[in-house]
Structure 1
Amino acid sequence: MKTEQYQKRQTATATDKCFRIGRPTAYFILLLLTYTVGYLSASSSTSHPPSPSFTSAVTATNYSSPPSSSSSNQLLDPFRVTTRCVDPIPSELVRQTLLDRFFNGSTPFQDFPADHAAKLLRPTIVKGWGSNGAVFENLIPKVKPRTIIEVGTFLGASALHMAELTRKLGLQTQIICIYDFCGWAGFGDRFENLPMINGDVLLRYQFMQNVVTSNKTGSIIPVPYSSGSALIELCELGVFADLVEIDAGHDFLSAWSDINRGYRILRPGGVLFGHDYFTAADNRGVRRAVDLFARVNGLKVKVDGQHWVIDSVELYYDSS
């Protein structure tokens, strides 16, 4: 009897020791199994997040026809223009509206040029690229624009050309030139002996001098701000145009932003157009932005030399 009781006590003691030793190990094994099963389940049931590359998203989408509103919304959410435009104001009020908003009601050409800049300016430095392309003579007689917005004007070559074309047609056209007049990094290497005051190469002053020399101060007005901020402001002021030219930044994101904002302030029947559709970077820059915009919105891109053209209504343009 004593032997049996002793054996039972020994067995119970051994079991208790085994339990005390095995419990932490069991907890650890259980935890490890839980983590492993959870990780494997997540990997198999959840797809990886989409690549941040916008190109991948576009390439995977079939644009043979305009995408549905739901898929289009999902695709363009990160790029959506949210500014609310007011109703368009009459064309005859455009100039004074801009003078009131940007120049305290007076013309920026009043008492031009300032003394500190006068001795540094040349009568004209009209440098541009594609500024006399056939697209201007093709579009202006057909659209007969009352208001033109040019995004990216540099020294005003194309604006002056458009002003002369509208004058010959007897049109009272206001041309709004949006540009920050800062140039771009390294642009001075392409020009000799640019005057400079405290790091400012006086692009706006030279642009204005070109306008004064050409006697176009009544039809051309500069808006000396970045394209994004200026287009937003025009949208909120109700300043719409019959022709909108996009020729500022040439990388994809800059062109995409300007095209979207420019199209929003296009009057019905107006035309959006721009330069540099064919360049060495066309698949990464302007051409990519233009083609994508047209596909997303179910529009057509027409080509005139180096210029691209998108009609808000397929009505006016025929380059043949």
Structure 2
Amino acid sequence: MPEQDTPTERKARLLAMLDDIGLNLDYDRLQTTGFEPDLQGWGDQDPIFDYVLRHFHPLVVIELGSWKGASAIRMADLVRDFSIPGIVLCVDTWLGSNESLWRVAENRKMLRLRDGYPDMFGQFIRNVVHTGHQTRIRHLPMTSGCAAGLLAAYGVVADAVYVDAGHDEAEVAADIAGFWPLLKPGGILFGDDYTTGWPGTVRAVNRFVAEHGLKLMGTEVKWLVRKPE
């Protein structure tokens, strides 16, 4: 982690990385023909987002698992409302994060299969443009593990990381382990699905908290820890 790293430098380093790998794009020019705004998501109105953005004013937020962008858009709304010059970086493959999206016919429709391949990314971009967050949201289309390695190689440091990609114990544990080193001292690590419906998430979070001696906070379904200074 770079020494004496300021928030502005953290944001600049992220944008420089996106420029270097060709992903600092003009979203208004991307192809979204056939997509209408669709902000379906899960838990994007949870008060934890307001708490994190209001109290910590993060300039670099990394979201693991974005789907159609509802929670990223909620955070971008708060970035705007609180006059934070921040970026929400969305890490996702846009291929579907669990087997129920494929196995259950009604869920499978949400993948918008085209020639046997999901077409969720266009929906994500359409929603970002529709909500006017083209300069506040960026994307990184890869797995969490690949993203962690890439961000580390470029020296990117996050002020906050939101974990909502895979939901089984190994996936959640890997995401937490991969992004904890990328989080600044005093930064916020938080996530979704801390419920009996996702016992693997609960086990992974509880084990990490116990191993690191952290204080676990959260809401009904969200969890949050703060990295020691």
TM-score (norm 2): 0.89
1:236: Cα distance to partner? 1.6
Spell out, residue by residue over 1:192-213, the C-alpha distance to the aligned partner (whole angstroms, 9 max, x if none): 5764322223111110110011
1:86: Cα distance to partner? 6.0
Spell out, residue by residue over 1:207-227, the C-alpha distance to the aligned partner (whole angstroms, 9 max, x if none): 011001111010100100001
* Amino acid paired to 1:99: L
Instruction: Please tell me whether the aligned partners of residues 246 and 262 of structure 1 are also in contact (alpha carbons under 8 angstroms).
Output: no
Match of 2:10 among 84, 87, 91: 91
* Amino acid paired to 1:156: G
Aligned to 2:27: 109
Distance in structure 1 (CA, Å) of the matches to 2:26 and 2:171 = 28
1:158: Cα distance to partner? 0.5
1:93: Cα distance to partner? 1.1
Aligned to 1:142: 55
Instruction: Please tell me whether the aligned partners of residues 190 and 223 of structure 2 are also in contact (alpha carbons under 8 angstroms).
Output: yes
Q: Root-mean-square deviation (CA), in Å?
A: 2.1
Aligned to 1:130: 43
Evaluate the alpha carbon distance shift between residue 294 and residue 194 of structure 1 in structure 2; reply closer, same or farther with a 3 A threshold: closer
Write out the 4+ residue segments of structure 1 that deviate beyond 6 Å after TM superposition.
none
Query: How many residue pairs align between the two structures?
Result: 222
Aligned to 1:187: 101
Distance in structure 1 (CA, Å) of the matches to 2:120 and 2:90 = 13
Aligned to 1:156: 69
Aligned to 2:89: 176
SS of 2:15's partner is helix
Evaluate the alpha carbon distance shift between residue 127 and residue 94 of structure 1 in structure 2; reply closer, same or farther with a 3 A threshold: farther
Evaluate the alpha carbon distance shift between residue 193 and residue 260 of structure 1 in structure 2; reply closer, same or farther with a 3 A threshold: closer
Instruction: Please tell me whether the aligned partners of residues 13 and 154 of structure 2 are also in contact (alpha carbons under 8 angstroms).
Output: no
Spell out, residue by residue over 1:228-249, the C-alpha distance to the aligned partner (whole angstroms, 9 max, x if none): 1111211221111111000111
Spell out, residue by residue over 1:129-187, the C-alpha distance to the aligned partner (whole angstroms, 9 max, x if none): 11110111111111110110000111110000010111111110110000010014341
Match of 2:209 among 294, 316, 320: 294
The higher radius of gyration belongs to: 1
Distance in structure 2 (CA, Å) of the matches to 1:162 and 1:237 = 24
Instruction: Please tell me whether the aligned partners of residues 28 and 129 of structure 2 are also in contact (alpha carbons under 8 angstroms).
Output: no
Spell out, residue by residue over 1:238-288, the C-alpha distance to the aligned partner (whole angstroms, 9 max, x if none): 111111000111101000000111211111211100011112342xx0111
Distance in structure 1 (CA, Å) of the matches to 2:139 and 2:213 = 33
SS of 1:176's partner is strand
Aligned to 2:35: 121
Distance in structure 2 (CA, Å) of the matches to 1:96 and 1:152 = 20
Distance in structure 2 (CA, Å) of the matches to 1:280 and 1:130 = 14
Structure 1: give runs of 5+ residues left out of the alignment: 1-84, 315-320
Q: Percent identity?
A: 29
2:223 is the counterpart of 1:308? yes
SS of 2:187's partner is strand
TM-score (norm 1): 0.65
Distance in structure 2 (CA, Å) of the matches to 1:232 and 1:86 = 16
* Amino acid paired to 2:216: V
Structure 2: give runs of 5+ residues left out of the alignment: none
SS of 2:159's partner is strand
Distance in structure 2 (CA, Å) of the matches to 1:182 and 1:195 = 10
Aligned to 1:166: 79
Evaluate the alpha carbon distance shift between residue 195 and residue 297 of structure 1 in structure 2; reply closer, same or farther with a 3 A threshold: closer
